[in-house]
Chain A
Amino acid sequence: MKILICDDDEALVSMVRFKLSRENLGEVVKAMDGREAKMLLRENDFDLIITDIHMPFHSGLEITTFIRQELGKDTPIIVLSAEGLEQTVLEAFEMGANDFITKPFSPAELAVRVRRILKK
């Protein structure tokens, strides 16, 4: 399994990478901003994408739209956000996200959600 994590917070990316690797859920590739995320998405196939909403260059919602509309892919997407606002959550789902996690979250919670989406 190949998982893309898009977030500009190095500590969070490191935490996600450590936990998912520890649980043998797959190889984790990181993108530190929306531009890098788009580049990686154009050039690679991923089994799961985890993206923050607030990122430099392109937001997580733009990335979600890019995956669904421009790339036409149905890769599962988990959206992360420090705002659990209902409007943001609904917008993410409307754009095609499969799950939404409000920051902060525990590594164990993330692993459970990833496992469920990947059906592992």
Chain B
Amino acid sequence: MQTQPGYSHNGRQAADRKILSRPLNMDFDLYTEGDQEYKTELCSLMIVSLQDLQQSLSDSIQDHDPGLFLNATHKATVTIDMLADMEFQTVASDLKRDFLSADKDDQLTARARHFQKLCDSIISSLQKEIKKKDLS
């Protein structure tokens, strides 16, 4: 497994990537019951969870330690499910499989980039949800 340059400092990476928002499929009312204050809190916690996933992916690749990403996805099970984003769920699960296959370095690299971009887009959309509340 080769370390990908630039994946060690996630914040800088995110700044370097063009970030597009992504439509959120999440049913907020199921979790927030229409409470706007709580929606803001939940969005903020989900952003932290996604940032942890991004960091763990970078660290896993850099340290050649799949366990870091596997543990992070395990911990973020509820956040991943709440997002109800099929592509995101699929890529996360494919990444776990790639990590466990020694001969899939190229595939892992491409998928890791895709996953980082998906996280950035979802974070951007969650931030917009928070701003909506601030404006209302």
* Beta-carbon contact of B31 and A12 below 8 Å: no
Task: With both chains docked as a complex, state the minimum distance between the C-beta of A11 and any C-beta of chain B, in angstroms.
Answer: 4
Residues of B within 8 A of A8 (CB): 75
In the complex formed, the residue of B with least CB distance to A106 is: B30
> How far, in angstroms, from A113 to B82 measured CA to CA in the complex?
20
Interface membership of A22, Cβ < 8 A: yes
> How far, in angstroms, from A106 to B30 measured CA to CA in the complex?
8
Beyond A18-B32, A18-B38, whether A54 also contacts B45 by CB under 8 A is no
- Which of A11, A18, A22, A107 is close to B79, meaning CB atoms less than 8 Å apart? A11
Chain B's interface size range is: 20 to 34
* Beta-carbon contact of B75 and A54 below 8 Å: yes
Interface membership of A10, Cβ < 8 A: yes
> How far, in angstroms, from A36 to B64 measured CA to CA in the complex?
31
> How far, in angstroms, from A7 to B74 measured CA to CA in the complex?
12
Task: With both chains docked as a complex, state the minimum distance between the C-beta of B120 and any C-beta of chain A, in angstroms.
Answer: 18
Residues of A within 8 A of B77 (CB): 9, 82, 103-104
Residues of A within 8 A of B20 (CB): none
Task: With both chains docked as a complex, state the minimum distance between the C-beta of B71 and any C-beta of chain A, in angstroms.
Answer: 8
In the complex formed, the residue of A with least CB distance to B81 is: A104
